[in-house]
Amino acid sequence: MKKIELEIVALSHSITQTHSYAVVLGEMNGQRRLPIVIGGFEAQAIAVALEKMNPSRPLTHDLMKNFMVAFGIELHEIIISDLQEGIFFSKLICSSSNDTIEIDSRTSDALALAVRFGCPVYTYENILDTAGIIMDDKKEKQVSAKEEAISSTPSDDTTNDLKNMSLDELNAMLNEVLENEDYIKAIAIRDEINCRKK
């Protein structure tokens, strides 16, 4: 399967819910975006590395990087390899002087390590087809690399409202929330659209 390279284009957080974050990955030289919901700790770990901040004590992902470097383990790439029931699965492709191995990882942890090592992030076409969102040229200009966007999280009422909307209404709403860079709400709308396609 052909790998597609991604980059982090935005980190969104919810104003209303403290533990709700999304990292948005963009297709290199393409218009597709892959929003992934992550936890607060992992969002902080990614943000710290993106901003090249140096905490006084190492965070967990810094410790992991230090451990790998100390034992001569190199991180070559991250592959977002699978999507099952809305959960992304990733692999760390690592090597030592003797061997190259794949290590199973949560996607949020893999991204936090990728930023620290400066290694590429990849996924496959079927994952982008299933969970990706296409940005048009106008929206493309609004999303700059490593931009932090503030968004709101859909409530249960919003989720119920989505179920009562037509596909055309959902697609129009998806375009609107993407223009406002509300990636967390876009995930809920995308999931509702995908449920109806099955």
> What pLDDT, in 10s, does the model give residues 89-136?
999 999 998 899 999 999 999 999 999 999 999 999 999 999 988 876
What per-residue confidence (pLDDT) applies to 81?
A: 97
Domains of the chain (ranges, CATH numbers)? 3-152 (3.10.690.10)
pLDDT at 191: 78
Predicted TM-score (pTM) of the model is: 0.73
pLDDT of 160: 62
pLDDT given at position 18: 58
Torsion (CA) 81, 44, 193, 163 in degrees, nearest 10: 140
Quick: pLDDT tens for 82-102: 999 889 999 999 999 889 999
The CB-side HSE value for 67 (13 A sphere, CA atoms) comes to 8
> In this structure, which amino acid lies at residue 32?
R
Report the pLDDT value the prediction gives residue 141, as an integer from 0 to 100.
44
Residue 141 to residue 97: CA distance in whole angstroms = 43
CA dist., res. 20 & res. 71, Å (int): 35
Q: What distance in Å separates the CA atoms of residue 164 and residue 159, rounded to the nearest whole number?
A: 9
| Residue 142 confidence (pLDDT) | 42
Q: Which of 142, 145, 136, 130 is nearest to 182 (CA)?
A: 142
CA gap 128, 32 in Å, rounded = 7
| Residue-by-residue pLDDT tens, the chain, 198 positions | 889 999 999 888 755 455 678 899 999 988 899 999 898 888 889 988 988 887 788 889 999 999 999 999 999 999 999 999 889 999 999 999 889 999 999 999 999 999 999 999 999 999 999 998 887 654 444 443 333 333 333 444 455 688 888 888 888 888 787 776 666 677 778 778 878 876
pLDDT of residue 148: 35
CA-based nearest residue to 143, from 55, 38, 18, 11:
11
Could you please report the per-residue DSSP string of 78-107?
EEEEEEETTEEEEEEEEE-SS-EEEEEEEH
Buried b (16+ CB within 10 A) or exposed e, 52-72: eeeeeeebebbebbeebeeee
CB 137 within 8 Å of CB 66: no
